[in-house]
Structure 1
Amino acid sequence: MNLRITAILISICVLAGSCRSKIEPDPILPPEEPVEKPDIPAPKPEWPEGQYGKSYIWDEDAVPEFHISFSEKQWNNLLAGYDKNPDVTAYFKCTAVFDKEGVRDTIADTGIRLFDNADAMRPEGTSGGKHNKDKAQWNMSNFELNFTRYSDSEDHTLRKVRSVFLKSCYNDPSYARERYCYDLFERFGIRTIGKNIYCRLNIYVEGDEAPAYIGLYQMIEPVDYSYIEDRASLFGSAEGNLWKCSGGASLIPTTSLATGTDNGNGEDFQYLLVTNKDSKAAAITQLNSFMKNIKSLKQDEFCSWIRKVCDVELLLRTYAVNVAVGMWDDYWNRGNNYYLYFNSTSADSYKVWFIPFDYEMSLGNSRAGIMSDPGRQNPYEWGKQGNPLIARLLQDPEFRDIYRNALLELTLPEAYLFEPEMSTAIVNDLMYQASFHASNDTGIGKGTKDKTAPWSNHPEYRISVPDANNFFTVRSEAIRSYSE
């Protein structure tokens, strides 16, 4: 991500001058735009032109705008659907206009639905209410836009993008955590991470005097068939089985796996089959076989097998980033927020890829009862030993060294990766970019603040000022201490 990285070195010097300052209750927005500075080492990898494509849409230097318009009937149907079942994933019709620097793309008959059930929020008003034209009470719900839901044609895409997630920063007053994490994955060469940029969201319901500005959102690339297809050269095939894993997906084999497909009624599955839905039984057989090998093979057999079916170094480097940023709502702790892609449909001949996803629960955003302190937690004992994949990998000295070296590489000052001054300056740049767009018509998130979420059990952590509570400093010191 080019976040005016060339502007960061002088920002570091400016921030360093405040490193003994007391943190104010409502910190701390950079007062001026960072000035131009020299290039720094360790840029993000340059992907071959066209490999991931769609670069016009996923432009990290722009803040495009979505204008979503509904008939009054469709909007009220969406509200009623939420009232009936807050987890509903049914689609409703809208018209989506994507505006980038005055150039507009319009996609009529776009499918829209609520997503991210854990943070489901009624988009307007309270239960039972219909749209209020005169005094709407807007909320920052999360949405998925599916441009091909009602017309499976390339002409009905957003410049070949078939769908996007629109995610609010409701749980992150800084507006920077998830953007920072996605950027760190990219700079560390984790090619499985998706795209994530800022965008503005406006909603208009038929008969309203004017659109409502809902706020600054993240536009996130869904992990779906298009994601796999765009990375076929990495995965070796786009025809395999993709699973969304959440809500206790521990990879422990059972006789009755909670598996299923998206049927629109909000039914929850730990393992949700995203591709090859017509071959669900075969996909489950493959997944079960994978789990049984993780659980049951003797250690030397496990190590030999996992080398054949997985890029172990990529997996452990991915997990090093996950643990460095303090992402506790993950596979290792909760069996949550990851995807598995098997690049064939064979029960035992495949390569499997671990795909990270959803990083707002990071950089000090932690919940009591799950993670006591993500800044100081031992990175080698990050999660449950009963969630076997990472635990078994780290039992092997060679694999443990890969993980250890990745953690230490992230914290090297000269690598400009997770290093505290560089990371703090990147966060400041993100907060500055977001500050122009945060105020909105919902009354939520009127500015950017260097705070954790209101429910966090460590409200002292900061990510934009280099003091004793700086998360990057605390975490880097813990990583080095436990890695000695």
Structure 2
Amino acid sequence: MKNRYLQLLIIAGSFFFLLLLNTPSAAQNRYFEESEKIFAAAGVAEIRIQIRPDYLAYILAEENEDSDSLFTATMLFKNNEITGDTLENVGFRLRGNTSRGSHKRSFKVDINEFVKGRDFYGLEKLNINGEHNDPSILRSMISWKLFELAEIPASRSTYAALFINNNYYGLYVLVEHIDDEFVKARFDGPMGNLYKCLWPADLTIPDQNNYKEVSGGRRTYDLKTNKAADDYSDLKNFIEFINYADDRTFAQRIEEVFNVPMFMRFLALNTLVGMWDDYWFNKNNFYVYHNLRSDKFEFIPYDYDNTYGIDWFNIDWAARNIYEFGNEREPRPLVTRLLAIPAYKNLYSHSIDEFINGIFRKADQAIYLESWHTEARLFVQIDPFYSLPPYNFTYNGDWENALTAASGRHVKYGIYDYIDRRIATARSQLRTGPLPLQILDLTVSNEFPVIGEQVKISCTVTSNDAIDDVECVYQINEGVRQVLNLARDADQSQAGAGEVIWSAQLPALQKNESMRFFLRAKGTAGAWSLFPKDAPGDPVQLFATDEDITYPIVINEFMAANDSALVDEAGEFDDWLELYNPADSSVNLSGMFLSDNPENHTKWMLPDTSIEAGGFLLIWADEDGSQGPLHANFKISRNGEFLGLYAPTTEGNFVIDSLSFGPLWANVSLGRVADGGDKWDFFESSTPGFSNATTGVFENQNASFTADIFQITAPFPNPAKEKFRVGIHVKTGEKVRLTVHDIRGRMISDKTVFSKKNAEQFVEFDCTQWAVGLYFIVAVTNGERVVKKITRLR
């Protein structure tokens, strides 16, 4: 058996970064790699919109300020990373709420409304915010930066100078749009439901149980993904739980349905920046996302210009009690019930303390604020809308002094004064106590037990609180959930200071049985902590087997940066990997899994297909299963990551083959030098669907004939849409057989020509009936063999 002893270990460190963060690394997702060219670039970007004057007049007309109608336009974008990219047929419209009635409007650019499937450095939409309430044009920028530094899933932002029809419209804040690409980049697993929650989204039971209730012409909880299904049952179950669960059940199971530790971290930072136009005070401006991997809801912040002392309620937000920041006259069940549990209230306090002694310190924030203030100076000075009503901000007064002085009216603080007062009052109000327990690790004595074998599990628990209970919640096959109590282990020799090892014997599994389980632990402060962090949706799994099962299939070659080398049947240049069967008989792949995450062995199940003896199978890693059964639900990062092939769950779900790799170049594959062998190397000429061995097969892209015996030219044109031709040259004059094969090795064309002795001749192929994709032309004569590649486009 493989892996007779398994240890799942999380290294101890800061409480929060141990257990709470459930965002995949940026290296796992090309979205971050591309979009960072927009949001991480220094300086002020430039956005130029060209739009028909009558379209622009309609957008800006006062009577149309509530319209979301999109109009076609052309966008040019450039910054210090992007020299100047032009997109035609983008959608352009107004966005926002109160800004629609201001002189300085906010706008949205829709990249793929009129050109389906298109993105701009990973982004499908751009939010161009005027920040008309904020004389500093800094408040949302610093708020988003703090969320990033705290590793809380939230939008990124940058400055942009906006021009429309060559007229300067002022300095704007470009804010990352929250959509399916946003959540895919931050949460692993299938696409769940994403809800945009606007006033009056208080998470109470809606009137007549109508979770699709409409307010202000749009749904209060507006579903942004999986719209065709329009299924709100998950949101209904979540809201009913936080409203109806009794106190004991709520404390025990809230972390099974909601990412509480991350939310408490968010809530602390939200309070410090003084964001009142939020869920807690104003039942407004947030998203919730149902993370299908963990089966928990995630909370995502939204819209942060009303912060750092901006006020419309005559409330001093810099001094407001950190435990009573919300609206005490209205129900907010999510926050109220969480803060009623001492451990979660203490966790909130712990985050407040961490931030005011870390990223929220004035000196830390000033690094960004001073830099942005300098970058923005010229752009604000000539901003044509900055000084217009209703606020009549002045450059020399309001903007120049925005860091140190209030502007009056709704701007009650300069940013630095707000930070000083908020830190001082928060510190005076702060009350601390025992935190939720931490389950640091899990040890399983046998990952693949044989029939009837008992498995011991043990875990290390630590906290500044006394430990009340440690439990294992398990389920055999699809049976009911059961609870097993753990006890203090007799051997505490491996426990560190403040740590206790707990253990138990799991029930023995019978043939073909599997067990899914997770751990939970409770201290006297009342909260139940879970392990692993993505439980219960992604628990620990055990499988019983009765023999040492092996599979011969290997990952043989892959390409993580397919910029222009190989197109799939949809005409797209997507990542790919190749499986190889070195056995002397066919192997069925049904039930096996591929994954780019070593912690998720069941990420993508292979279809019911087989690889013949010595055969190959190409898999597209493009996150687009709609294109066919051989399209996986993950991509391969060109920055390097992990690939694994796993056995079916009925056979133990063990690792069949896996590898980790570093950065790869564009259009270069990494493959085994000998098919199925141990040695890997880079291939500038990849061989998807064919042997990696090149003996007797070569590809010469030169059109000149230099071979002593036999040569064919590269196909022309390549890529081709309707027809292409190749040239052949045989010095001795022989019969030449030309066959064309698709990516799976199936022959789709067969021609035989009689070559002229020592002369050039050309053979034409009609490819109009071929599917879009890569093909191989194989020329054979007198024992010699040459292979060329041709790509067919629409």
Instruction: Supply the distance in 2 between the matched residues of 1:184 and 1:359 (Cα, whole angstroms).
Output: 11
User: 2:285–2:301: 8 Å Cα contact kept in structure 1?
Assistant: yes
Of structures 1 and 2, the one with the larger relative CO (CA 8 A, separation 6+) is: 1
Mark the CA change 1:252 to 1:195 in structure 2 (over 3 Å): closer, same or farther: same
Q: What is the deviation of 1:476?
A: 0.8
Distance in 1 of aligned mates of 2:189 and 2:262 = 18
Q: How does 1:18-29 map onto structure 2 within 5 Å?
A: none
- Please, what TM-score do these two structures have when normalized by structure 1? 0.76
> Which of the numbers 218, 228, 244 marks the counterpart of 1:278?
228
- For residue 115 of structure 2, what is the aligned residue in structure 1? 151
Look up the match of 1:113.
Answer: 93
**Could you give the per-residue CA deviations for residues 362-400 of structure 1, whole angstroms, max 9, x where no partner exists?**
11111125xx11000011111135111111101001111
The amino acid across from 2:368 in the alignment is I
Q: Supply the RMSD in Å over aligned alpha carbons.
A: 2.5
Partners of 1:47 and 1:455 lie apart in 2 by 43
Alignment correspondent of 2:27: 49
| 1:401 Cα deviation after fit | 1.1
Partner of 1:362: 307
Distance across 2 between alignment mates of 1:305 and 1:163: 37
Is 1:331 the equivalent of 2:293? no
Cα offset, 1:463, TM superposition: 1.7
- Is the Cα contact below 8 Å between 2:289 and 2:298 reproduced in 1? yes
Aligned partner of 2:332 in structure 1 is 387
What is the 5 A alignment of 1:266-415?
267-280=217-230, 282-283=231-232, 285-344=233-292, 350-368=295-313, 372-385=315-328, 386-412=331-357, 415=358
Aligned-pair distance for 1:480?
A: 1.1
Count of aligned positions: 391
**CA-CA distance at 1:420 after TM superposition:** 2.5
Aligned residue for 1:407, secondary structure, equals: helix
Larger Rg computed on CA atoms: 2
SS state of the match for residue 426, structure 1?
helix
Higher share of residues assigned helix: 1
Please, which runs of 5 or more residues in structure 1 have no aligned partner? 1-41, 123-138, 205-210, 465-469
Q: Shift of the alpha carbon at 1:452? A: 5.1
Shift of 1:212: 0.9
Distance 1:201 1:382, change over 3 A: same
Per the TM alignment, residue 47 of structure 1 is displaced from its structure 2 partner at its CA by: 5.1
Counterpart in the other structure of 1:203: 164
Picking from 134, 159, 164, the partner of 1:172 is 134
1:259 Cα deviation from its structure 2 partner: 2.7
In 2: Cα distance, 1:79 partner to 1:334 partner: 29
Structure 2 gaps, min length 5: 1-16, 18-22, 388-393, 432-794
Give 1:268 shift: 2.8
Measured against aligned partners, the alpha-carbon deviations of 1:229-250 in whole angstroms (never above 9, x if no partner) come to: 222xxx2324111000011100
Q: Could you tell me how far apart the structure 2 residues matched to 1:97 and 1:221 are?
A: 18
Whether the 8 Å CA contact 1:60–1:198 is kept in 2: the answer is no
State the distance in 2 between where 1:261 and 1:483 align: 39
Go from structure 1 to structure 2 and tell me whether the alpha carbon gap of 1:77 and 1:275 turns closer, same or farther (over 3 Å shift).
Answer: same
Instruction: Quote the Cα distance in structure 2 between the aligned partners of 1:108 and 1:275.
Output: 26
Q: Find the aligned partners of 2:420 and 2:163 in 1 and give their Cα distance.
A: 38
8 Å Cα contact 2:44-2:376 kept in structure 1: no
Deviation at 1:454, TM superposition (A): 5.6
In 1, are the aligned partners of 2:271 and 2:325 still within 8 Å (CA)? yes
- CA 368–186 in structure 1, closer or farther in 2 if over 3 Å, else same: same
Deviation per CA, 1:138-165: give whole Å up to 9, x if none: x4210010011101133xx223321110
* 1:445-482 Cα distance to aligned partner (Å, 9 max, x none): 563341556641x62x1224xxxxx1111111111111
Report if aligned partners of 1:215, 1:437 keep a CA contact under 8 Å in 2.
yes
The alignment-based identity, stated in percent, is 26
Show the counterpart of 2:197: 245
Q: Is the 8 A contact 1:225 1:238 kept in 2?
A: no
**Mapped partners of 1:443, 1:110: distance in 2:** 25
* Cα pair 2:407 2:414 within 8 Å, conserved: no
The aligned amino acid for 1:481 is S
- State the one-letter code of the partner of 1:337: N
> Cα offset for 1:311?
2.1
Aligned to 1:431: 373
The offset of 1:48, in angstroms, is 3.8
Q: Is the contact made by 1:424 and 1:463 (CA closer than 8 Å) also made in structure 2?
A: no
- Using the TM superposition, give the Cα deviation of residue 59 of structure 1 relative to its aligned residue in structure 2, in angstroms: 2.2
Greater share of residues in strand: 2
1:230 corresponding residue in structure 2: 185
Distance 1:455 1:294 in 2: 38
Which amino acid in structure 1 is aligned with residue 200 of structure 2? G
Aligned partners of 2:114 and 2:161: how far apart in 1? 24
User: Following TM superposition, by how much is the alpha carbon of 1:117 offset from its aligned partner in structure 2, in angstroms?
Assistant: 2.0
Determine if contact 1:67/1:203 at 8 Å carries over to the other structure: yes
Instruction: Tell me how far 1:169 sits from its aligned partner.
Output: 2.3
Corresponding position of 1:6: none
Deviation of 1:175 after TM superposition, in Å, equals 1.4
